[in-house]
Structure 1
């Protein structure tokens, strides 16, 4: 299992209706075929850290992760989600014993960045 946990905060100028649209897009992404589980909601961490919400998704393996990353629902959701975020932090972990799993995940991420340069630009615009 590979788990991706995102903590985030909306930009101050994002209206409540737009925030709901973002959360809806995240819920759709967390429900794609390749996701074993997913959830989105309030972040319960220390408010001083600056995060208000969290997104968590689990995928079975690297093949499922690649499908998840390129799923049309995920790609469309990113165009709704990323411009609305003021802050974003990611934590990833796995129960896969292969010591190369981390490097393989990075390679998938880099391949997506190369394929979708606008996605990279949107990600890089969000402070951690």
Structure 2
């Protein structure tokens, strides 16, 4: 099982309506992407981030499905331009020592296949984690 976790801090000029749209997009991802087994989207407590999300995904095939699903692409295009800082990371019980590099490779492949997304990611002021380009 993979717990894909993201934490976000919005730019200072983001309106409450824009923030709610991003959160709605994240919730929609959880509802419509078949490989997502469960999810939580909401306020981030205990740090300098405002929102967070956790998506539980069965395996790397499901992770790829999650990454390239149109609902995820839509969230990226709505949300990334509004973000000042984002951090993504993954927690898994898979014992393969190459598991982390395999996840990083999926992200790299996604950016290669979607130059528009890659441009959005490269434009972020701060991005850390597997999804960072």
Query: What is the TM-score when the length of structure 1 is the normalising length?
Result: 0.91
Cα displacement (A) at 1:125: 2.1
Equivalent residues of 1:34, 1:59 under 8 A apart: yes
Aligned to 2:13: 13
Asked whether 1:65 is paired with 2:63, we answer yes
Alignment of 1:2-81 (within 5 A): 2-31=2-31, 32-46=33-47, 50-81=48-79
2:96 alignment partner, SS class: coil
**Counterparts of 1:55 and 1:123 in 2: how far apart (Å)?**
18
Query: What is the TM-score when the length of structure 2 is the normalising length?
Result: 0.88
Aligned to 1:109: 107
**Counterparts of 1:101 and 1:75 in 2: how far apart (Å)?**
24
Cα displacement (A) at 1:25: 0.4
1:44 alignment partner, SS class: coil
**Counterparts of 2:114 and 2:46 in 1: how far apart (Å)?**
32
Cα displacement (A) at 1:30: 2.1
Count, aligned residues: 125
Equivalent residues of 1:36, 1:60 under 8 A apart: yes
**Counterparts of 2:118 and 2:56 in 1: how far apart (Å)?**
22
Equivalent residues of 1:26, 1:81 under 8 A apart: no
1:98 alignment partner, SS class: coil
Runs of 4+ in structure 1 displaced over 4 angstroms? none
Q: Per-residue CA shift, 1:67-126, capped at 9, x if unaligned?
A: 111111111121111111111011211101111111111111110010111212212222
Q: Per-residue CA shift, 1:35-69, capped at 9, x if unaligned?
A: 111111111113xxx31111111100011001111
Unaligned runs of 5+ in 1: none
CA RMSD of aligned residues (A): 1.1
